[in-house]
Chains A and B, each alone.
Chain A
Amino acid sequence: TQLLEQSPQFLSIQEGENLTVYCNSSSVFSSLQWYRQEPGEGPVLLVTVVTGGEVKKLKRLTFQFGDARKDSSLHITAAQPGDTGLYLCAGARGGTASKLTFGTGTRLQVTL
């Protein structure tokens, strides 16, 4: 069974602070995806990383895929209240329509 552990589970920070969320597994994934989920809604895709060591930036968000393709991180610079939400990593093994294994989630709250 492939598991993705996210840390921390909960994070409460003030506006303007930086933070990093980690997503770790003992399994190799062909790609890692990051989603954000609001209460009562479906996950919304933020980014897909497919190459070991890959770094992608999305405005204030920086995503990195580990060299061994077992882990990933999400770094947010100068967090804003609008960043509040549940962040999920999800790994794909490969194959045509293979499943995503979702992580345990990190709930972020950014206060003024």
Chain B
Amino acid sequence: EPEVTQTPSHQVTQMGQEVILRCVPISNHLYFYWYRQILGQKVEFLVSFYNNEISEKSEIFDDQFSVERPDGSNFTLKIRSTKLEDSAMYFCASSEGATSNYGYTFGSGTRLTVV
């Protein structure tokens, strides 16, 4: 069964450093998303991406965050200057069609720890 692949599975970084989280969505999917889940809390929306541009972003997704689809297969999330509160599981997801009718396929996540 097709799956969304995320790398790395774990990342430890020092506060203030830049990190790039990588995702390979399912090949025929057109819609891409990043979510995060702080330990013990709800899954929270960060950003959605369609047709090579951001469709929607949350208040969490400030100027420190950016997304890119550099080569037609990878989908990356960059955090420019990490803060302690960025520590969380980051999930990439993709869907075949619009959110209302199509569920997402989530990756296994990247656990980001900022120290």
Interface residues of A (CB under 8 A from B): 30-31, 33, 35, 40-45, 47-48, 50, 88, 90, 92-105
- A100 vs B102: C-alpha distance when bound (angstroms): 11
Number of A-B residue pairs having CB atoms within 8 Å of each other in the complex: 88
> Are A88 and B99 in touch, CB under 8 angstroms?
no
Our pick among A42, A47, A88, A96 for the contact of B93 (Cβ within 8 Å) is A42
Interface residues of B (CB under 8 A from A): 4, 31, 33, 35, 42-45, 48-50, 55-56, 58, 89, 91, 93, 95, 98-109, 111
Given contacts A41-B109, A42-B91, A98 and B56 within 8 Å (CB-CB): yes
- A84 vs B34: C-alpha distance when bound (angstroms): 26
- Most chain A Cβ neighbours within 10 Å, of B48, B99, B106: B99
> Are A50 and B100 in touch, CB under 8 angstroms?
yes
> Are B100 and A97 in touch, CB under 8 angstroms?
no
Q: Is the interface of B mostly helix, strand, loop or mixed?
A: strand
Interchain Cβ contacts under 8 Å between A and B, 21 examples: A31-B101, A40-B89, A42-B4, A42-B91, A42-B106, A43-B43, A43-B106, A48-B101, A48-B102, A88-B43, A92-B99, A93-B100, A94-B100, A95-B98, A96-B31, A96-B99, A97-B56, A98-B55, A99-B48, A101-B45, A102-B42
Q: Which residue on B lies nearest to A43, using beta carbons?
A: B106
- A71 vs B70: C-alpha distance when bound (angstroms): 39
Q: Shortest Cβ distance from A5 into chain B, in angstroms? A: 11
- Most chain B Cβ neighbours within 10 Å, of A31, A43, A50: A43
